[in-house]
Structure 1
Amino acid sequence: MWRAIEHAISEHFDTPFTIEEHEKLTGGDINQAYVITSGEQRFFVKVNDKNHSERFQIEAEQLALLKQSNTVNTPKVITFGHSKQHAFLVLEFLVLKPLDSTGGSYEFGQQLAKLHRWGDQKEYGNDLDNFIGETLQPNTWMKNWSRFFSEQRIGWQLQLLKEKGVHIVDIEECIEEVHQLLLNHAPRPSLLHGDLWHGNVGQSVHGPVIYDPASYWGDRECDIAMTELFGAFDHDFYRGYNDEWPLDSQYESRKPVYQLYHVLNHLNLFGGQYLSQAETLIDTIMREQSPT
């Protein structure tokens, strides 16, 4: 594996690269992570089984697209590939710390708003399906946002749960309820990070950095709702975002729907504690749509 990584980096820079040290890092749930050094250069490397090759390629393409926007900072992609048994993704090595309120949070809020305003996409989705955690995330292009989100986000997650024997709501009924709630909402398609929680953003000496995306073109409110789900970001982040591009006044009514997607995904991945949270959100959505 290490020889394959050396060869890939050497080809990328068109100069020999030899790994003198490699240090395994802790904290990753899906991939193994290492810092490698040649003595002069350091890189961050993700490693997994060879069948993860396509996932690493997709991640590299997503990071490149986010960087292309010139709005947010992402780790630079160096190369990716595989050996006989392993797949790997080599990224720029960055020393990161949590976002803070001394400027990083506010700056990131502004950067995210600029990302959401970037581009001129007319439909919702992405050219490729990708992954959110270990879960496949379908991204078939659609012109109707309410159909896209109700079917490819909520319906998809509920179907995965049903296949595992977890039945918490009638799937077709829930899809229709979500569709009706979003029916009159036609947001401008924004390029989303897609999995924006504290663990996927940090601060370097050059400012905020995002990584581990699950990107697609969708409603910008999806990213914001995710930041409020597993421990809200610093107040300055939201102030920075709204100073750049204020959220719609109806955001709060849609937030439970967008948060439900991530809770259902966590229920699919981890089970247990997320069941009651999913049921509570579904009840909230059903009440919202019930006639008064």
Structure 2
Amino acid sequence: MWQHICEQISSSLGARFDCDKPTQLKGDSEQQIYLLENPQYQFFVKLASKGQHQRFESEVLGLEHLRVASAIYIPQVISCGVVAQKSYLVLEYLPFVKPDEKDWRSFGQQLAKLHQFEPQPMYGWQEDNYIGLSVQPNQWHKKWATFFAEQRIGYQLQLLKEKGHELANIDSIIAKVKELLHNHQPKASLLHGDLWQGNLGFILHQSCLFDPACYYGDRETDLAMSELFGQLPMPFYQGYNDIWPVDEGYEYRKSIYQLYHILNHALLFGGNYLASAHTLIVNLDA
């Protein structure tokens, strides 16, 4: 397997790449992470089951779109494929450093510019992709309230119901979210889609994004996610507002957008996320 991956890296580089022993960095039952290196090169390799190949392909597509659109650094895709009943994704290895306040402010400014890049007339994506390990439907739609209520909140509630967790009447919650977002029709911005501290880093003084769940939607969803699992440093938000201040009503919509990610975590991990999801659903009527 590793010989095949090294051969694919060599083909991409146009130069021979050999590695005696991969170093495992981390992993779980779904995915393992390795470092492949020799004196000249270092690469970051994700391994998963053969059935996860489409998820890696979707990640490649998202990275390619972010690379075209943004001043934010996006890791280069080296190779993606299937070998020995394993799917793999090879990316350039990035040595992250600790950022300072100026770096965070610059990242906020760069994200705002990403969100301003060639907005689309509709909400969605050219294919369904993934948020973590969960399928993320992305059928194009003209109305943001309908798109988010049905393809984000409603879809996650249905997946949870099929898993034995019926948190609420799905049709009622979809209707409530449509009502709450009815008058909000934002520009359809290119989104990272899963923006939290674990999916970003800094190389020297340059911000970097990876592990996207891209689609075109309300830019506020990225900002809401950035506040969910440990808010990013304040200079990031100050930098964002330097370029494109958030719209009136963001604080009100934030919890609706965060509900999507809490539902997904409830689906994947259960536990306290189920209780958190229930609380947010109850608060929709507050």
TM-score per shorter chain, which class? Answer: over 0.9
Q: Could you tell me whether the CA contact under 8 Å between 2:123 and 2:142 is conserved in 1?
A: yes
Q: For each residue in 1:105-163, what CA deviation from the matched residue of structure 2 results, as whole angstroms up to 9, or x when unmatched?
A: 11111111010000131110101111111111001111111000000000000001111
Whether 1:13 aligns to 2:13 is yes
How much does 1:206 deviate? 4.6
Once residues 252 and 268 of structure 2 are traced to their aligned partners in structure 1, the CA distance between those partners, rounded to angstroms, is: 26
Q: Which residue of 2 aligns with 1:82?
A: 82
Q: Which residue of 1 aligns with 2:129?
A: 130
Once residues 19 and 151 of structure 1 are traced to their aligned partners in structure 2, the CA distance between those partners, rounded to angstroms, is: 47
5+ unaligned residues in a row in structure 1: which ranges? 288-292
Q: Which residue of 2 aligns with 1:175?
A: 174
Q: Which residue of 2 aligns with 1:290?
A: none
Letter paired with 2:57: Q
Letter paired with 2:20: E
Q: Which residue of 1 aligns with 2:185?
A: 186
Q: Which residue of 1 aligns with 2:239?
A: 240
Q: Which residue of 2 aligns with 1:271?
A: 270
How much does 1:53 deviate? 1.5
Once residues 168 and 102 of structure 1 are traced to their aligned partners in structure 2, the CA distance between those partners, rounded to angstroms, is: 41
5+ unaligned residues in a row in structure 2: which ranges? none
Aligned-residue identity in percent: 47
Q: For each residue in 1:203-236, what CA deviation from the matched residue of structure 2 results, as whole angstroms up to 9, or x when unmatched?
A: 1125111110011000000000001111111011
Q: For each residue in 1:12-70, what CA deviation from the matched residue of structure 2 results, as whole angstroms up to 9, or x when unmatched?
A: 12332222332110266742111111321111111111122221111111101101013
Q: Could you tell me whether the CA contact under 8 Å between 2:123 and 2:188 is conserved in 1?
A: yes
Secondary structure in structure 1 of the residue aligned to 2:89? strand
How much does 1:278 deviate? 1.1
Secondary structure in structure 1 of the residue aligned to 2:23? strand
Q: Could you tell me whether the CA contact under 8 Å between 2:104 and 2:236 is conserved in 1?
A: yes
How much does 1:97 deviate? 3.7
Q: TM-score, normalised by structure 2?
A: 0.96
Count of matched residue pairs: 286
Whether 1:144 aligns to 2:131 is no
Q: Which residue of 2 aligns with 1:68?
A: 68
Q: Which residue of 2 aligns with 1:105?
A: 104
Give the 5 Å matches for 1:143-222.
Answer: 143-222=142-221
Once residues 128 and 206 of structure 1 are traced to their aligned partners in structure 2, the CA distance between those partners, rounded to angstroms, is: 34
